[in-house]
Structure 1
Amino acid sequence: MKRLNMKNLCFLVLFLFLSFCPVFGQTSKQEMFDTPEKTGGVYYAYPENYRIAQTPVPKGYEPFYISHFGRHGSRYLINDEDYKWVLDLLADAKKNQALTPLGEDAYNRLAEVWIEAEGHGGDLSPLGVRQHRDIAERMYKAYPQVFNNNVEISARSTVVIRCVLSMDAFCERLKEINPTLRITREASNKYMNYLNYHTEEAMAFTSRKGPWYEEYRKFEESHTRPDRLISSLFSDTTYIKKKVNPAPLMWALYWIASDMQNMETDLSFYDLFEKEELFDLWEVVNYRLYVCDATSALNGGIMMENSKPVLKNILDSANEIISTKGKGATLRFAHDGNIIPLAAILHLQDCYASISEPSDFYKVWSNFKMAPMAGNIQIVFFQKKGSDDVLVKFLLNEKEILIPPVNSDVLPYYHWKDVEAFYKSLLAE
């Protein structure tokens, strides 16, 4: 039998891994139609009761360190006004007998939602707390060797309260399981220069004066078709003419519908929309995030620069643990606009495609796959007694994922020296 050389062996291992392990693949309209919650994009709630099969660790290796970057958990809409102005408009229309039966029903539902939402604009929801507690527990149970007694763990978040509370929920669950853990929790402007960094070039590009915006504006305009929705809610055309701005109202109801999955109130607004309408609106949001946070060819790759500081922190933190023969974890908590470019610069599979045709954006990049509520990236480090070789495995939202530019003979595991060399080359660019 002819022996396989190393290159062929790598291709064989990659083929077997892709055959049996889940990868993201291309998003289809049917996927979005089947699960309308996904049209919420970054409002997609992290699945509960999460169970993902893991590839066995190579013989003799044990986990000793985890480098983590997480988005805050489920939250309410950013401002109370995002609910209130819609509620006030529907209340006024009801008073003027300008609502259809469906419109009155939507008003009654929104009034019930307001009972929970009032005063919570931008806040972490109870579901957001549960998500981070569950992720922490699964991490502990999957890699108990990392969390030995008296192990030191560093936890840092941005200064935004929902991130701080996400960090707190995560760390509290670890402490409940093992009270001896020594966890340092910090939320400070000192760490914003890598947890939530944006270059001046990136900020200038993403403004409405950026070269991408006019094409995007036309895309949004062509994909926002509110007439059917508005006529289904309002019975008086004169009232619509005088008091209703159709497009902003459609968008407001879309965001309310999208965020219901993150709240405790068990109501839905998806019945107000046709499936194509939801898909079209999601496509617009996905377009904007792909161009303004990810790797669309329209931005020339400048968004990955935003993640160089955190990538450097990941390398430095890992190498400090390795050099001191330590154990533990580094936990980081931030936002969707931070985890998206990080997934890109890490070159996680299906997270860094670069195309320029807007109608095809969703086929290569989907926001709900990168950054759902409580989305997270985990890099798990393994060592073997008597060996200096360190292996790492990457998880995106707790699913094993490949780093296609880096070769490996033990997929989905990688030799740290190879991964580190690749990332250092990116930092040097």
Structure 2
Amino acid sequence: MMKRLNLKSTCLLSVILLLNISSLWGQTTKEEMFATPEKTGSVYYAYPSDEIVAQTSVPKGYEPFYISHYGRHGSRYLISDDDYKWVLDLLEDANKVNALTPLGIDAYNRLSKVWIEAEGHGGDLSPLGVRQQRGIAERMYKSFPQIFTDSVKLSARSTVIIRCVLSMDAFSERLKEFNPTLDITRESSNKYMKYLNYHTNEALDFRAKNGGIWREEYRKFEQSHTKPERLVNSLFSDSTYIVKKVNPFSLMWALYWIAGDMQNMETNVSFYDLFEKQELFDLWQCVNYRHYVCDATSAQNGGIMMGNAKPLLRNILDSANEVIHSNGKGGTFRFGHDGNLMPLAALLHLQGCYNSVADPAEFYKTWSDFKIVPMAGNVQIVFFRKKGSDDILVKFLLHENEITIPPIKSDILPYYHWKDVEAYYMSLLENK
């Protein structure tokens, strides 16, 4: 009778897991994007910590002993100060000659307020980015306290970009606040860029401005999905000024990025009212298109982008096996960028992260960038062992939610036998 109850419990947990994953990874719809315009921010979507669901129970007798992590830096400002400044300068100039509508004047005043915070911060980690990394570290510590025992050795490495270094630092400091004895080695060096931020020559050639069979089709898609006339006319009252000084296409895109990044800043200002929901949705489709083709598994690239993550996957396997074979415990924490996390999620074959279609109109229904690489997005692989058994179990977390690996079979979802996981990933590394 007890075995039957355990079996029922296991099946129930599996059903609950699949329902949770389905709710998180269901097909993206226009209605979803209309309801949450922040998602149209693409890779500027702030970390969805409010979407984290409870994890399933660990199989009886097993305890966590190692965690492997790759995380994107936390929330940041737009890459360059000029991404704000040229728009501000244009609106200021138009305001001086009375060429703005009341809405345009309001937008100018809002952007002036934003500039007070943004000036000098192009590409920098924002205060929210620090809080995100601290929160991820805190939840990790509380979820797997058996790993973070006194004096345990942990490795933290980041790319050489400052926002990644500061993300690593915020994450590591939070862990040490819980247990000051933790021995965390923090490194940022070109030595580790060969796997933390690797791109094959084939991928670079495909993305080059004069390369890639995808570019002409994308140009037409972007052209048909960028309709700036309504927006520009709502901001400028002088048609002559528009003709002489305003590039409608460039302005619409610049305001789109500013609007999307406001969720990562401290200044409480929004620009979404400048756009119609369909306009935001259309612009986001263009950005999602580029990411899908240039960093993920669109049929247009033939799967070559997964090669960018192979050195990283090799490091993940080697680092894990080093701990396993030493019968030790610890953690390996890596910090990089969206362009690294997208191919890694695809190569790992995380559910919803490696689908491949060829029709641009279907891209967003199959693959959505904000679900895979929000600010501070991360993949965690947690390792478990049982005294007296050599069967290592692992489970995968994407943004701290359990996720499945469909090509790998398991009788204990969301957990997998490490021997099966390692064998599958080794086969991918060996496949040229």
**What is the aligned partner in structure 2 of residue 18 from structure 1?**
18
Deviation at residue 19 of structure 1 after TM alignment:
3.3
Q: Answer whether contact 1:129 1:166 (CA < 8 A) is retained.
A: yes
Q: Compute the displacement of 1:25 (Å).
A: 1.4
Q: Pick from 277, 283, 286 the counterpart of residue 284 of structure 1.
A: 286
CA contact (8 A) 2:52 2:401 kept: no
CA distance in 1, matches of 2:358, 2:306: 17
State the partner residue of 1:7: none
Partner residue in 2 for 1:379: 381
Match of 1:269 in 2: 271
Which amino acid letter does the alignment assign opposite residue 330 of structure 1?
A: T
Give the corresponding residue for 1:201: 202
How far 1:47 sits from its partner (Å)?
Answer: 2.8
| Inter-CA distance 26–340: structure 2 relative to 1 (3 Å threshold) | same
Residues 50-106 of structure 1 show CA distances to partners (whole Å, capped at 9, x for unaligned) of 642101000000000000000000000000000000000000000010000000000
| CA–CA distance in structure 1, aligned partners of residues 319 and 278 of structure 2 | 46
* Counterparts of 2:225 and 2:276, CA distance in 1: 13
Structure 2 CA distance for aligned equivalents of residues 340 and 279 of structure 1 = 21
Distance change >3 Å, CA 16–CA 101, structure 1 → 2: closer
* Equivalent in the alignment of 1:68: 69
* 3-state SS in 2 of match to 1:153: strand
1:13–1:409 CA contact under 8 A, matched in 2? no
Specify the alignment match of 2:352 in structure 1: 350
| Aligned alpha-carbon RMSD (Å) | 1.8
Partners of 1:206 and 1:384 lie apart in 2 by 46
Secondary structure at the aligned position of 2:69 is classed as strand
Counterparts of 1:292-307 in structure 2, within 5 Å, are: 292-307=294-309
Structure-1 separation of matches of 2:345 and 2:337: 12
Aligned-pair CA distance for 1:221? 0.6
The separation in 2 between residues aligned to 1:281 and 1:293, in whole angstroms, is 18
Structure 2 residues not aligned, in runs of 5+? 5-9
The partner residue of 2:419 within 412, 417, 420 is 417
In 1, the alpha carbon distance for the partners of 2:147 and 2:29 equals 39
- SS state of the match for residue 324, structure 2? helix
Q: 3-state DSSP class of the match of 1:145?
A: coil
Structure 2 match to 1:402: 404
Equivalent pair of 1:76/1:120 in contact (CA under 8 Å): yes
CA contact (8 A) 2:75 2:129 kept: yes
Q: Which amino acid aligns with 2:178?
A: I
Q: How many residues align?
A: 424
The answer for the alignment partner of 2:7 in structure 1 is: none
- The percentage of aligned residue pairs carrying the same residue is 73
Write the mapping of 1:81-160 to structure 2, written as runs, cut at 5 A.
Answer: 81-160=82-161
Q: 2: CA distance between counterparts of 1:328 and 1:417?
A: 19
Q: Distance in 1 between matches of 2:50 and 2:26?
A: 23
1:384-414 deviations in Å (ceiling 9; x for gaps) = 0110000000000011000000000000000
Asked whether 1:44 is paired with 2:45, we answer yes
AA aligned to 1:211 is I
Q: CA deviation at 1:208?
A: 2.1
Give the match's secondary structure for 2:382. strand
SS at match of 1:54: coil
1:227 aligns with 2:219: no
Partner of 2:318: 316
Between the aligned partners of 2:20 and 2:99, the Cα distance in structure 1 is 56
| d(CA) in 1 for partners of 2:404, 2:424 | 14
- What's the offset of the Cα at 1:42? 0.4
CA contact (8 A) 1:13 1:410 kept: no
Q: Secondary structure at the match of 2:157?
A: strand
Distance 2:392 2:228 in 1: 55
Q: Is the 8 A contact 2:73 2:335 kept in 1?
A: yes
1:196–1:20: structure 2 CA closer, same or farther, 3 Å change rule? Answer: closer
Question: Which one-letter code corresponds to 1:274 in the other structure?
Answer: E
- TM-score with structure 1 setting the length: 0.96
For 1:404 and 1:52, the matched residues in 2 are separated by 20
Post-superposition offset of 1:272: 0.1
Check conservation: 1:287, 1:358, Cα contact below 8 A. Answer: yes
Question: What is the distance in 1 between the residues matched to 2:208 and 2:28?
Answer: 28
Cα contact 2:13–2:56 (8 A) shared by 1: no
1:12–1:212 distance in 2 versus 1, CA, 3 Å = farther
Structure 1: which 5+ residue stretches go unaligned? Answer: 5-9
What is the one-letter code of the residue matched to 1:273?
F
1:96, 1:218 → 2: CA distance? Answer: 36
Segment drifting more, 34-43 vs 208-217: 208-217
1:190 is matched with 191
Q: Deviations over 1:272-315 (max 9, x none)?
A: 00000000000000000000000000000000000000000000
Q: 2:361, 2:125 → 1: CA distance?
A: 33
1:337 counterpart = 2:339: yes
Amino acid at match of 2:176: K
Hey, what's the Cα distance between the residues in 1 that align with 2:189 and 2:273? 43
Question: 1:409 & 1:418 partners in 2: Cα distance?
Answer: 12
